[in-house]
């Protein structure tokens, strides 16, 4: 199965989230069936990230968006944690600080985009500025409505600077969200995650749907595609995201740089004598 083809938001296409099944598990019937392919994929991801770091020419930006409890943190823990920390950064975007809020909305994101050879993971992102900001009218319509164009221009700039961009919308439904909130309530290790906002945002579900749909529609581009990942089943979400990242890294066809030294000369000069005396 070609995960990219199946879950990409084709640029210019119309998105209706309620027509996309959050329970979809593609051609996989169970977590057990997906376990081996996932492991294989994670190994591959680690190798390819190493190659990207070695090549030191290009970079990858991974954007995770989704409703509360959609699995953004879980994806980082279960999938993206295979990345070598030397060569990877994670940024979680919260309510803007005073400093952040006194700049344009892209400033805080631009500061943490991946440098050459690196992967950057955004847990939430510049898209919050057309999501929560739009739903709660934190700025006037005429301000947020211009941001889609700003975002596309920003992402194109990154792409032109050799950054591949993958954006994942983790798609869950209302019932699954409530179930996950309930589980948090009953798990002493997860209670810290519960916020008033989780519950107070639920009545805005449809407004968020609209905001997500518009962001997906207007900002899925050739250079920075959106993927809608069915995420009610965590194991499938993990596999789908891992596969899409690996397939993208494979296409990038990264190469180790040529050695900076003459290997033969070094062998002769420093190792020949040692070999002879062994
Ligand atoms: P969490 O991801 O659960 O730690 O929550 C972070 C919170 O910060 C969420 O409620 C987001 O909606 C909020 N947030 C992130 N970016 C922005 C933004 N640009 N403006 C307002 N709220 C934001
Ligand atoms: Mg939260």
Q: Which atom of ligand 1 lies nearest, measured to the CA of 198?
A: 10
Select from 60, 9, 53 the least CA-distant residue to 165: 60
Ligand 1 lined by 201 (C-beta under 6 Å): no
Write the Ramachandran bin of 144: left for phi over 0, alpha for psi from -120 to 50, otherwise beta. alpha
Where do the structural domains in the chain lie, given as residue ranges?
Answer: 3-276
Ligand 1 lined by 94 (C-beta under 6 Å): yes
Q: CA-based angle 57:80:134, to the nearest 5?
A: 90
- Best of 74, 91, 92, 95 for a ligand 1 pocket test (most atoms within 8 Å of beta carbon): 95
Task: Give the strands of the sheet with 163-171, arranged side by side.
Answer: 88-92, 119-123, 59-66, 163-171, 226-230
Q: Which atom of ligand 1 lies nearest, measured to the CA of 193?
A: 3
**Helix or strand holding residue 185 (H, E):** helix 174-186
pLDDT one digit per residue (tens) for the chain, 278 residues: 899 999 999 999 999 999 999 999 999 999 999 999 999 999 999 999 999 999 999 999 999 999 999 999 999 999 999 999 999 999 999 999 999 999 999 999 999 999 999 999 999 999 999 999 999 999 999 999 999 999 999 999 999 999 999 999 999 999 999 999 999 999 999 999 999 999 999 999 999 999 999 999 999 999 999 999 999 999 999 999 999 999 999 999 999 999 999 999 999 999 987 777 77
Ligand 1 lined by 124 (C-beta under 6 Å): yes
Return d(Cα 240, Cα 168) in angstroms, integer: 10
Q: Which atom of ligand 1 lies nearest, measured to the CA of 201?
A: 10
Return d(Cα 253, Cα 49) in angstroms, integer: 11
Tell the CATH superfamily of the 3-276 domain. P-loop containing nucleotide triphosphate hydrolases (3.40.50.300)
Please indicate, yes or no, whether the overall pTM of this predicted structure exceeds 0.95: yes
> 27 C-alpha to center of ligand 2: Å?
31
């Amino acid at each position: 199965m070609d995960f990219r083809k199946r879950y990409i938001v084709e640029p210019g296409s119309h998105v209706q989230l309620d027509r996309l099944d959050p329970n979809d598990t593609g051609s996989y019937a169970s977590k057990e069936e997906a376990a081996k392919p996932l492991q294989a994929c994670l190994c591959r991801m680690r190798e390819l990230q190493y190659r990207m770091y070695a090549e030191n020419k290009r970079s990858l930006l991974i954007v995770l968006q989704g409703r509360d409890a959609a699995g953004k943190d879980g994806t980082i823990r279960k999938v993206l944690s295979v990345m070598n920390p030397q060569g990877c950064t994670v940024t979680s975007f919260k309510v803007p600080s005073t400093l952040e809020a006194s700049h344009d909305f892209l400033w805080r994101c631009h500061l943490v985009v991946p440098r050459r050879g690196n992967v950057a993971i955004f847990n939430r992102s510049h898209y919050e500025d057309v999501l929560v900001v739009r739903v709660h009218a934190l700025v006037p319509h005429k301000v947020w409505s211009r941001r889609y164009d700003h975002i596309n221009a920003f992402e194109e700039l990154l792409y032109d600077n050799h950054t591949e961009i993958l954006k994942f919308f983790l798609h869950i439904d209302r019932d699954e969200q409530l179930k996950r909130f309930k589980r948090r309530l009953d798990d002493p290790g997860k209670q810290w995650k519960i916020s008033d906002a989780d519950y107070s945002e639920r009545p805005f579900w449809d407004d968020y749907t609209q905001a997500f749909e518009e962001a997906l529609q207007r900002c899925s581009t050739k250079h920075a595609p959106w993927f809608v990942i069915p995420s009610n089943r965590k194991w499938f979400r993990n596999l789908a995201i891992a596969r899409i990242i690996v397939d993208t890294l494979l296409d990038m066809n990264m190469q180790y740089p040529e050695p900076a030294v003459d290997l033969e000369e070094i062998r002769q000069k420093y190792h020949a004598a040692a070999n002879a005396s062994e």
